[in-house]
Structure 1
């Protein structure tokens, strides 16, 4: 069986403040939009035009908490992760779907800004980052896991 590759890395501007929520079991999840600009040349006029692609970004766990605390609308960030497709049926019975990015890395772009890195405290035992700053254990179910 051949393996597939599902990786995406994009650089763009956050279109809305990251929205932090928690699952019923306490798992942090954040969602925000990302606008990615690209230049294309008009075949008829030869002029360069900007086209924009919009992506929905989702991050989990400590990455979600850090994003909500550190990022805001307009910030330029690099997002790396995988694509995930959600499908559903609307009220009229039509099948709908959307593709979002499940982020594994989110980093500020320092092309037009600077940042100060502040490391999170670590728990004892293997250097695993705490689920929250108090180091409390978080209970979660299989439905909370993003893969």
Structure 2
């Protein structure tokens, strides 16, 4: 059976303050709403229109704690993660489902303020630890390095151990020399 790829990359602004909580087992969780904007030209009128798409993002563990301290409404962030759909029953006993992005990486792209009001420019990148409890509870092979290697081999990519760590470039062109034999 072939494996798929579930990867989401977003750059956008937070629509609200992060909602932070701790699970019964003590794991930190933060939920944020994020908006990405896209500009399209209307084919009939030729006018440019902006389309906003809203996303639910879930941050676990250390990423949640970072979100609690540094992220605020309007902050520009880069989020990388995977798409998850889960079902639940609400208080009226109606079954519902929600699709969320479970973040693996977070990068703050602009100025931010702490809860104490201090402003700093931050462009730090944070990643969820690969051996975290959240990743261990995930039954997918994507958090397991040996399974990842197996998947890459199935897709025709070389084994990481067979790839040189510092390969020599195949062709070096400096642009000042006409002695190369490239046809352009």
Q: TM-score, normalised by structure 2?
A: 0.59
Cα distance in 1 for residues equivalent to 2:78 and 2:70: 14
Task: Confirm or deny: 8 A CA contact 2:29 2:58 kept in the other structure.
Answer: yes
1:68 aligns with 68
Cα distance in 1 for residues equivalent to 2:123 and 2:96: 42
Which has the higher Rg, Structure 1 or Structure 2?
A: 2
1:124 aligns with none
State the Cα RMSD in Å: 2.8
- Structure with the bigger RCO (C-alpha within 8 Å, sep 6+) is 1
Q: Determine which structure has the larger strand proportion and give its number.
A: 1
Structure 2 gap segments, 5+ residues each: 112-119, 140-184
Structure 1 gap segments, 5+ residues each: 120-127, 132-139
Task: Confirm or deny: 8 A CA contact 1:79 1:106 kept in the other structure.
Answer: yes
Q: Determine which structure has the larger helix proportion and give its number.
A: 2
1:11 aligns with 11
Q: TM-score, normalised by structure 1?
A: 0.73
Moved over 6 A (4+): none
Cα distance in 2 for residues equivalent to 1:114 and 1:38: 25
Question: Number of residue pairs matched?
Answer: 124
